[in-house]
Amino acid sequence: MTSRTTGPINIVDLFAGCGGLTQGFHAFKPGAFRTVGAVEWDIAAASTYAANFAEEAGGTDRIYAGDIAEWDPRDVDSTVDVILGGPPCQGFSGLGKGDPDDPRNKLWKEYVRVVLALQPKIFVIENVDRFLRSREFELLTASAGRDGELRDYVLQTKLLNAADYGVPQTRRRVIVLATHRDVVASHPSREPFKHPQPTHRKPSKDGDEGTLFTTVEDWIPSSAVFSMTPPETETTKLPDRTCNILGKTLPGIFRTTDLHIGRNPTELSLKRYQAIPEGGNRHSLPEELSTENWINHRSGSGDVMGRLWWDRPAVTIRTEFYKPEKGRYLHPKAHRPITHLEAALFQGFPLDYKWVGSKIQIARQIGNAVPVGLAKAIAGNLYRYLRLTTP
């Protein structure tokens, strides 16, 4: 395996979505990483990715909008140092049916196929926490055994909380790091690439419990996002414009600043919003504003019709964050759900990030993304690790 210790580190992003992982890598240090290819089946998400990264990748033909099973890794004409990717998680997610036979569970095998073809120094897999308890995770781990397909790689797996890395959101994700054994052998430490140490922590009730040698700040609260956005929304619509980046005309291109769009709640919904205090939820509603189902079922998720806290991070931002009936997505103070702009900021996307798609498509892209701050922390560790590798 060849080793380059100068110039940008080349990355390929599989199941790329709108580019949260890639954006995190680019946010670490301008010029440190270079996108040389990406794969994403959803045309709106792929168009968002291309709007932001196709130029540096060498053109839109480097962004494959289609089924990964039909993509030929040989289309990448550069040396690939790192592969990133979050195979679809719906089959593992606690919000879905948790079907072990869901065909989407098998897509990690396509990821492995690409790894075997491109032989990166390091690859990174992101998934939901339930992935750790799945049959697919067992198979992935076994594939790094003596006779497995990934026997040339050393795997390190950890469950990380995005809030521990400066993200104003308590999003827990499994991060699998894999280092080629040749890279381990040539590294001064003789150890594989490891997960980044937390830079933030949940505030202690007993005061400061820091160490003499490590500065760890408190989690960043949701107020960091809401202090950047107007309390009210002026429109329910995205600007009227279209684009055609990857062969299909779609709404866009929009900037993150265009996404402060609201809803038209019914009179009943507005009364419910007004009756729920900060940190409250459906259990806070008086009987006349509740539903028979909510009254009779006091168990289950308390986050339904939940209002966020001003001084705590947000809960996990999912794909339907604009629907309060789906989770804890009411603004801490204003009587409305969070907007697409606020959701994008909770995920760490910059204000000038480019977006393509309808309101629903963009919401799905935001909710499915890897938080930029978490990706940036991984990128920093990875950059420092590879720069110490001997030629």
CA 69 to chain centre: 22
The three-class DSSP label of residue 44 is helix
The three-class DSSP label of residue 295 is helix
DSSP H helices, 135-248, are: 135-142, 181-186, 223-226
Q: Please tell me which residue in 38, 76, 89, 160 is annotated as part of the active site.
A: 89
The three-class DSSP label of residue 181 is helix
The three-class DSSP label of residue 328 is strand
DSSP H helices, the chain, are: 20-28, 43-57, 108-118, 135-142, 181-186, 223-226, 267-275, 292-296, 340-346, 359-368, 372-387
Give buried/exposed letters for 247-279 (b at 16+ CB in 10 A, else e).
eeebbbbbebebbbbbeeeeeebeebbebbeee
Give the contacts of 35 (CB within 8 A, at least 6 positions apart).
11, 12, 13, 22, 26, 53, 56, 57, 62
Task: Please say if 89 is a catalytic residue.
Answer: yes
Instruction: Name beta bridge partners: 380.
Output: none
Q: Which of 20, 36, 113, 21 is nearest to 67 (CA)?
A: 113
Dihedral sign of CA atoms 239, 245, 246, 247 in order: positive
The catalytic residue positions are 89
